[in-house]
Chain A
Amino acid sequence: MVTPAAVTLSNLTVSYQRHPALHHISGSFLAGSLSAVVGPNGSGKSTLLKSIARLVPPDKGNGASGQARTLQISVTPRRIGYLAQVAELDKTFPMTVWDCVALGCWTGVGAWGAVTVAMRDGIDGALHGVGLQGFEDRNIGSLSSGQMQRVLFARLLVQDADLILLDEPFSAIDSATSAALLTFILQWHRQGRTVIAVLHDDALVRTHFPDSMLLARELVAWGTTADVLTAANLARARSMAEAWDESAAVCDVNAMAKPLA
């Protein structure tokens, strides 16, 4: 039996001011897979997660030769959990830890639905799971960045998403906390959810993540971690410059995907 794809990219290109952050990426994340996205700074990892979460739009068309628009991303799961880098939310907002975790119910209840007793139990359970029992009425402004990240993991637990996107979940977090958070990621994987995480720790990826994608704006390699994180591939990713060439020519790749190296 063939595993269905959770996310399929066909020639995905995303540009900021006409300079591509992701350049003609094609391939699939299979349903239930646990994948790491690795690559140097500025290689388009966060942009990839944002475009899967539909937070940034893909480019229109496929370059100067002007083919018709094609669907560049198809995402099968309806429930998507997205963990942004911590800096993107307002920590000065008067919001208690419990309320913040309860926002994970949004997919189920929307703006007006009631939070049921079962959901309340789920919220309490998630807070207990991340070791923040007793913090319910604390304001999020009083939390450290590691505690805040645990609150956001609790929110993801409550969200019950089929596809979970994590953008550098372990940055600025001590090793005990990241070990605790990693167990949740592995648990999601065992539960059959699709998990895609942007990570910088190659050793961690090699130990725990079966699949990897190596980006340097272009796709360098994508497959099982052992095949992707080779010395040759990593060196190639590093050598692909972070350049922003103001006079770069207009891309004219045809609708075909670039061949993988």
Chain B
Amino acid sequence: MSDLAAWGWDTLFAPFADFAFMRRALVATLALALSAAPLGVFLTLRRMSLLGDALSHAVLPGVAIGFMVSGMSLTAMAVGGVLAGMLVAGMAGLVTRFTALKEDASLAAVYLVALALGVTLISGHGTQLDLLHILFGSALGVDTSGLLLVAGVASVSLVALAAMYRGLVLESFDPVYLAAVASPGQRGWVWQQGFLMLVVINLVAGFQTLGTLMAVGLMMLPAVSARLWHDHLGAQLINASLQAALSGTVGLLLSYHMDTPSGPTIIGCAGALYFASLLFAPGGWLPRWWTTTHRVA
């Protein structure tokens, strides 16, 4: 029995108890799971599942300028990234509001220009290695300032999402009704822009500390799976956060024991949960295949 307990300790807890970098990675991953996954649910509801990818590229010129100004400084690159992301989201919002283009089209156009600018800046002023580091940060390399950034962003983002929940739900569900009833300060574009800003700061926080793949993956994969489990939005949001936290924890442990890169392993775990959801969730394949009876009313 004590063998089993010792094995359990060694497998599940020792990595975190023994190594500070594992503890920091765990806290950063859990914070991101808490704040980014619910945003992902709203992105899928608004049929903008691919927006995370687009925005994570859009922040590149800002990160590059931050890097050029103060070298490998997390603060400078994060500030640059947030400013670039907000600029891109804001410009796309303006284009949507004042021209015939829809949200996705205007965003695609603006982010591609931003990405081109970012690559130009980086290749002109840095080495290939820097670019790789900026694009694929590592969960195991999170230092204290990175941890503070992720925790701070997660806190701000959770409170802000709670504050704009009602407006965002109505703007996603029935924008025409919102436009007809809302007072000028609560019009649709206010919620839409506020939401995009939250997505940007979450992506930048995740992207700087954990890498692009992790940031977008933890935002979207659990969100997509969560939609298969519940009909109610609140339950979907909680489910998404739980799935993200579970994949983060299990992924970190797996990457520790099997010596695999942490980011892809975590996303692999989220992917495994997604395939399990596809099969077993109420909205998935097996329950539909299994259900052969129906009620009388």
Contacts and interface: CB of A to CB of B under 8 A. Distances in A.
Given A94-B45, A112-B166, 4 more contacts: A90-B174, A106-B170, A106-B178, A112-B163
A31 to B, nearest CB: 19
B166 A111 contact: yes
B45 A93 contact: yes
Nearest to A16: B100
Contact of B176 (A80, A84, A94, A111): A84
B99 interface: no
Interface stretch (B179-187, B199-207, B272-280): B179-187
Contacts of A90: 172-174
Contacts of B227: 94
A88 B172 CA distance: 12
Contacts of B232: 94, 96
B25 to A, nearest CB: 33
Nearest to A103: B170
Contacts of B163: 112
A145 interface: no
B10 interface: no
Nearest to B236: A94
25 contacts: A53-B180, A54-B180, A55-B179, A55-B180, A80-B180, A82-B181, A88-B174, A89-B173, A89-B177, A90-B172, A93-B172, A93-B173, A94-B231, A94-B232, A95-B169, A95-B233, A103-B170, A106-B170, A106-B181, A110-B182, A110-B183, A111-B167, A112-B163, A112-B166, A159-B181
Contacts of B230: 94
Nearest to B190: A111
Interface centre among B174, B179, B227, B232 (most CB of A within 10 A): B174
A145 B231 CA distance: 19
Contacts of B178: 106
Nearest to A104: B181
B164 interface: yes
Given A94-B230, A95-B233, A88 B176 contact: yes
A111 B164 contact: yes
Interface in A56-94: 80-82, 84, 88-90, 93-94
Interface core residue of B177, B227, B232 (most chain A CB under 10 Å): B177
B181 A95 contact: no
Interface string B222-243: 0000010011110010000000
Contacts of A55: 176, 179-180
Contacts of B183: 110
Contacts of A82: 176-177, 180-181
Contacts of A95: 169, 173, 233
A107 interface: yes
B234 to A, nearest CB: 9
A10 interface: no
Interface residues of B, number: 25
A139 interface: yes
A95 B233 CA distance: 7
A96 B180 CA distance: 21
A89 B174 contact: yes
Nearest to A88: B176
A82 B226 CA distance: 34
Q: List the 7 closest A-B pairs by CB distance, nearest first.
A: A89-B174, A82-B180, A111-B167, A93-B173, A94-B233, A53-B180, A106-B181
A93 B231 CA distance: 9
Given A93-B45, A94-B236, A112-B166, A139 B231 contact: yes
Contacts of B180: 53-55, 80-82
A54 B183 CA distance: 12
A103 B174 contact: yes
Interface string B141-164: 000000000000000000000011
Interface in A20-77: 53-55
A110 B186 contact: yes
Contacts of B182: 106, 110
Nearest to A96: B232
A99 to B, nearest CB: 8
User: Which residue, of A53, A106, A111, has the highest number of chain B Cβ atoms within 10 A?
Assistant: A111
A90 B178 CA distance: 13
B177 A84 contact: yes
A110 B169 CA distance: 13
Nearest to B186: A111
Contacts of A110: 182-183, 186
A68 B173 CA distance: 39
A43 to B, nearest CB: 21
Contacts of A80: 180-181
A84 B163 CA distance: 28
A80 B167 CA distance: 18
Nearest to A95: B173
B37 to A, nearest CB: 16
Contacts of B167: 111
Among the interface residues B167, B180, B227, B232, which one has the most CB atoms of the partner chain A within 10 A?
Answer: B180
B42 to A, nearest CB: 11
